Chain A
Amino acid sequence: MDGRMELLRQIQILEFVMYDAALYLDTHPCDEAALNYFHHYRKIKEKAVAEFAACYGPLTMDTVESKNKWTWIEKPWPWEMGA
């Protein structure tokens, strides 16, 4: 569970970075440095999300790997922490 939380935290940090950059890029679409920044973290995030799906289950439907069981509904749902 700890490894899961740690990797999830990494993904949350990476997505925060990407989303902040994306909001800036919305109004500065030709800023090359910001674009490079976005794509740099995008690559790292994609790797982290794939690793998470492989080890702990899917975060998005398109990363559901299992062929014999629908793992999307496996707990925990995001709001179920700390019980």
Chain B
Amino acid sequence: MDLDRKTMAMGNGGIDMWTYEKKLQYPVKIKNPDPSIAKVVITQVGGPDGELAASMRYLSQRYSMPYKECIGVLNDIGTEELAHLEMISAIVHQLTRNMTIEQIKESGFDTYFVDHTAGIYPQAAAGVPFTAKFFQSKGDAITDLVEDMAADAAPLERQLFKYFSF
């Protein structure tokens, strides 16, 4: 056990893989509920270019990657995307915390609320549930990398965050 701990690449590692760290990658602290933003941001959780799809994409594509350097990148970015998933989920959670019925109705969040109340459910903004159809894993490194560029370089993602300027 001591030996295992000393050989962990990141230091203070854990006792199993994967290991949870009880903190967000970057702090999320939103005081006031705003379901009108939440209903858009939820797509970054479970939408076609969301964090869940990103993580599953990289972690699935690792196995057929022929180069150890690139396996490392897929492994570590796929892991980091899970930390992103947790941050975005925390944003949606805090934006929908202590909402009033009026806020739910006026914001149009009622269409989400009727199915999930204030629970975090991975779906696209228009209500499409998360599905593995959002990503590919073809067993061919070049094909997969092109798919990665289409998905994760998504300017949409950056536009979204710029627009809402968190």
Contact = CB atoms under 8 A, between A and B. Distances in A.
Contact of B14 (A23, A26, A60, A77): A60
Q: What band does the interface of chain A fall in when counting residues whose beta carbon is under 8 Å from B?
A: 20 to 34
B22 A22 contact: no
A46 B26 contact: no
B70 interface: yes
A82 B30 contact: yes
B145 interface: no
Interface in B89-136: 89-90, 93-94, 97
Given A12-B23, A23-B76, A46 B9 contact: no
Contacts, number: 89
A27 B69 contact: yes
Interface string A19-35: 10011001101000000
B73 interface: yes
Interface string A45-83: 110011000000011111100000000100001110111
Nearest to B94: A82
A66 B85 CA distance: 30
B14 A49 contact: no
> Taking chain B's interface residues, is the majority helix, strand, or loop, or is none over half, making it mixed?
loop
Contacts of B9: 22
A67 to B, nearest CB: 16
Contacts of A23: 73, 76-77
A72 B22 CA distance: 9
Q: Which of A8, A9, A61, A62 has the most CB of B within 10 A?
A: A62
B29 A81 contact: yes
B94 A79 contact: yes
A9 B94 CA distance: 19
Interface of A: 5, 8-9, 11-12, 15-16, 18-19, 22-23, 26-27, 29, 42, 45-46, 49-50, 58-63, 72, 77-79, 81-83
10 nearest interchain CB pairs?
A26-B72, A79-B90, A82-B29, A81-B29, A46-B11, A27-B69, A78-B24, A49-B12, A26-B73, A42-B11
